[in-house]
Amino acid sequence: MFLRLKSFAPFLCLGIAIGASLSRGADEIIKSSPSKDGAVIFQTVCVQCHGPKGEGNEQIKSPSIASLPNWYFKTQIHNFREGIRGTDPTDVQGMLMATIARALQPNQVEALSKHVEAMPLVVPKPSPIHAEADLENGRILFQERCMECHRYNASGELAFGSPPLIGKQDWYLSAQLLKFKSGKRGAAKSDVNGAKMVLSSQVIQDEETLRDITAYIITLNDAYVASQQPLSDPFIIRPESEAKSKTAPEAQ
């Protein structure tokens, strides 16, 4: 096995146990209090796994979702609801999220998509393993294999259905690349966008390639944040500057 999963096993089990009990609770909250207010649903349900700022939680392997474009958000919730993503029994995280997505009403999905898009981007901290990454190798791979769809700055492209990769943690990027590569995500017949990634993820042949490419993507956050100046401050949360953080605007 090319990823050393063994040493993480106890944490993974703990994360799954926490996630499973949270998803049961979250599921019931949505059904018992059918709010239409995106901010309210987020703060009562999503917050349990994605955190108060939508920053994600490494223990449960739930990604940062703050500032996800609403078109991508809606596609993914649709995929989770319709059995396109999160169906493989070994994809524990995908199955957890699918349970939540299925409990949502269409008007709640709409409200949440606006609320999440308006949440400030949370810049992820690089994992310690990245100290050893070959960023130059990562850059070359990204520019040759990923940039045409995810754009030079990894901000994503609506026309291609490719989401932003900035804002996402390296452990989440790695996990998704492996899910695409093994067909746990993107293999459903109707998943045209996922199929593009099943193909693109085949470039990942070893642990080093995965590390280099995700480490390079994390470095693009800084350039993106800089390009958003002077508008950025209210819209971006950096890991070192918690003091600057602002709460997300109310959903319309």
Binding residues for ligand HEC, per CB under 6 A? 19, 22-23, 26, 41, 45-46, 48-50, 60-63, 65, 68, 73, 75-77, 93-94, 96-97, 100, 104, 112, 145-146, 148-150, 160-163, 165, 168, 173, 175-177, 186, 193-194, 196-197, 200, 203, 213
If the CB atoms of residues 204 and 225 are measured against ligand HEC, the closer one turns out to be: 204
Q: How far apart are CA 200 and CA 178, in angstroms?
A: 11
Give the nearest distance from C-beta 58 to ligand HEC in angstroms: 11
Give the nearest distance from C-beta 235 to ligand HEC in angstroms: 18
If the CB atoms of residues 83 and 241 are measured against ligand HEC, the closer one turns out to be: 83
CA 94 to chain CA centroid, Å, is: 11
Give the nearest distance from C-beta 202 to ligand HEC in angstroms: 9
Q: How far apart are CA 137 and CA 92, in angstroms?
A: 31
Q: Tell me which residue of 181, 165, 185, 182 sits closest to 173, measured CA to CA.
A: 165
Between the CA of residue 245 and those of 76, 123, 125, 192, 196, what are the distances in Å? Answer: 27, 11, 15, 37, 36
If the CB atoms of residues 80 and 236 are measured against ligand HEC, the closer one turns out to be: 80
Give the nearest distance from C-beta 183 to ligand HEC in angstroms: 13
Cα of first residue to Cα of last residue in the chain, in angstroms, is 48
Q: Tell me which residue of 68, 107, 102, 69 sits closest to 85, measured CA to CA.
A: 102
Q: What is the dihedral of CA 83, 87, 91, 97, to 10 degrees?
A: 40
If the CB atoms of residues 12 and 235 are measured against ligand HEC, the closer one turns out to be: 12
If the CB atoms of residues 201 and 238 are measured against ligand HEC, the closer one turns out to be: 201
Give the nearest distance from C-beta 3 to ligand HEC in angstroms: 15
CA 252 to chain CA centroid, Å, is: 23
Q: How far apart are CA 197 and CA 150, in angstroms?
A: 11
If the CB atoms of residues 27 and 233 are measured against ligand HEC, the closer one turns out to be: 27
Give the nearest distance from C-beta 230 to ligand HEC in angstroms: 27
